[in-house]
Amino acid sequence: MKALTKAAALISVLAVAACGSTTSAITPPPGVTRSGCGTVNVAINPWVGYEANAAVVDYLMKTELGCKVVEKDLAEADSWEGLASGQIDVILENWGHDDLKKKYIDDRKVAVEQGLTGNKGVLGWYVPPWLVKEHPDIVDYKNLNKYAEQFKTTKTGDKGEFLAGDPSFVTNDEALVKNLKLNYQVVYSGSEDALIAAFRKAEKNKEPMIGYFYSPQWLLAELKLVKINLPVYKPGCDTDPKTVKCDYQPYDLDKIARKAFVDSGSPAADLVKNFQWTDDDQNQVARNITAGKMSRDAAAKKWLDDNRETWQKWLPAK
């Protein structure tokens, strides 16, 4: 395995350029020339898939572009407000948020879209595989009340427990339980790590569990959670969170940046724009951070050393 070095990266970048680079360099506005990188403030939202994106992009900013990277742990909505206040330059994994796009991109014009990450976001309700083997019909939401008693806990009394994640996640779970007339109560686990631990325990001990989960997520390669079939998503069915009765919208995940940062001529803006990888790529880094107990930098370097041809295309034009 080759070490990640600036010299090797430069040689390869020149070779790519000679053959015709596929990068999409951002052209600064008239009168603005390419600047040095300086400081880049990156939002870190509370799930490991996002951390994986940030680990790799931030490592390249530091080692290839000479940036000073400041990572700030923030909830999704706070990250967008950070773009407006100037405290955040980049959001590296955005899940939809058409309302925030309208507010900060269309109306206030302080943020801009920076293209897709290459990842497909799928949210939903899941159960451990053992439960589906024993009760195949549980995958239809119409049958959930039939099994509600099995999901009772001390926290939910005579209702079944539905386990959610971090309270800052934007979800429809409480509204769906109410509007679909399901005899369940939403309980927040508190974090992504807690959700993962709960699903693992439920499968290992053959314990009933239903909860919120999503992909891309490295756990799904190890534990084949089964998605519950909620009413099919149709555009507009979730417009009013109080009346929503449909499944979650699938997303093409994208990146958002502060407009002044993009217009500054920073080479980091080009890197963010060009960054794009697969669910498998993200899951490799995420698993090394979580299950492998590696630091973000170590997990990033491992993936970068193994995937030089991919990331060289992200580097800004010289």
The DSSP letter of residue 140 is: B
Q: What CATH number did the domain enclosing 199 receive?
A: 3.40.190.100
Look at residue 244 and tell me if it is in a domain: no
Do 53 and 150 share a domain, yes or no? no
8 within 8 A of 2, measured Cβ to Cβ: yes
* Residues of the chain where predicted confidence (pLDDT) is lower than 50: 1-29, 31
Is residue 44 included in any domain, yes or no?
A: yes
Angle value at C-alpha 255, between 34 and 231, nearest 5 degrees: 165
| 32 in a structural domain | yes
177, 212, 227: which is the final residue of a domain?
227
Number of Cα atoms under 13 Å in the Cβ half of residue 35: 18
In a shared domain, residues 97 and 137: no
- The pTM of the full predicted model, rounded to 2 decimals, is 0.81
Residue showing tokens 């794009």 = 276
Q: Which of 195, 156, 153 is nearest to 177 (CA)?
A: 156
Domain of residue 221, residue span? 121-227
Residue-level pLDDT at 12: 38
Adjacent-strand bridge partners of 164 = 188
pLDDT digits (tens, 9 = 90+) for 239-286: 898 899 999 999 999 999 999 999 999 999 999 999 999 999 999 999
Same structural domain for residues 149 and 203?
yes
Alpha carbon separation from 179 to 104, 189, 244 (Å, rounded)? 31, 22, 7
Same domain, 112 and 258: yes
Cα gap 250→230, rounded to integer Å = 13
Cβ proximity of 127 and 210 under 8 Å = yes
Report pLDDT for 168. 85
List of residues 6+ apart from 131 with CB closer than 8 A: 138, 202, 208, 209, 226
Whole-number pLDDT of residue 9: 39
Do 186 and 44 lie in one domain? The reply is no
Residues of 166-201 as b/e, b for ≥16 C-beta within 10 angstroms? beebebbbebbbebbebbbbbebbebbeebbebbee
Sign of CA dihedral 160, 227, 248, 219: positive
Q: Residue 20 has what pLDDT?
A: 38
Q: 217-241 pLDDT, tens per residue?
A: 999 988 999 999 999 999 999 989 8
Tokens of 50: 């996002």
Instruction: Return d(Cα 181, Cα 179) in angstroms, integer.
Output: 5
Specify the pLDDT at position 318. Answer: 65
Residues 308 and 276 in one domain: yes
Q: Do 13 and 113 fall into the same domain?
A: yes
239 assigned to some structural domain? no
Number of domains forming the structure of the chain: 2
- 33 located within any domain: yes
Largest CA distance in the chain: 68
Q: Tell the burial category of 116 from Cβ atoms under 10 Å away from its Cβ (0-12, 13-18, 19+).
A: middle
Q: Which of 156, 262, 263 is nearest to 211 (CA)?
A: 156
Distance between start and end Cα atoms, the chain: 27
Cβ pair 15, 305 in contact under 8 A: no
